[in-house]
Structure 1
Amino acid sequence: MAPMHNPPHPGETLRDDVLPALGLSVTEAAEQLGVSRATFSRVLNGRSAVSPEMALRLEAWLGVERGGRAEMWLQQQVAYDLWRVRHEKKKLNVHPLAA
């Protein structure tokens, strides 16, 4: 299993929680989402971000009543992306505005 992040990549939630709860394989879920297995696998393994299009696919697939709101998936992605950038070793070359 991939190392946990704080917060986790939304693909980890899909892989570790959603797919097992639904009893679906990656291939079955990808087919239901209308994407290739490779595309969905990249998201599940944190190698691709949940895009707005994928978030809408997840919403249509899971349904809003089951926690599938597109905004929620995008919020998880943004939280993960910000956490990752904040914890990278490189320094941002920013010059703050003068007071």
Structure 2
Amino acid sequence: MRYSYVDAQPPHPGEVIRELCLEPLGLSVTAAAQALGVSRKTLSAVLNGKAGISPEMAVRLSIAFNTSSESWLTQQAQYELWHAEQHRNDLRAKKLVAA
């Protein structure tokens, strides 16, 4: 699904991981972190929205959950773009036009 800045806030990918990947499989954060080859602290930061999905994490998630790396990066980009759009009027950017 594509979001624009007027749509509802997209979920952080960590929410998606928790609700659609870990919970249905009955996985703890510790077990999932071990399977992903990352620390519990690293995975917990993602799950709690304190860290984003890096390209490396996207590949790890794609391996673990048989998904595409691109889908994880797209979710992260949509989340970040939505937040950036909320501050559009605060930016000091100006429209450029041909002379």
| Normalised TM-score (structure 2) | 0.85
Unaligned runs of 5+ in 2: 1-7
Unaligned runs of 5+ in 1: none
Match of 1:11 in 2: 14
Match of 2:84 in 1: 85
For 1:10-63, what per-residue CA distance to the aligned partner results, in whole angstroms no more than 9, with x for missing partners? 101111221111110000000000000000000001100100000000011111
Contact 2:21-2:65 at 8 Å conserved across structures: no
Counterpart residue identity of residue 69, structure 1? S
**Alignment equivalent of 1:21, drawn from 21, 24, 29:** 24
| Normalised TM-score (structure 1) | 0.85
Q: How many residues align?
A: 91
Change (3 A) 1:18 1:47: same
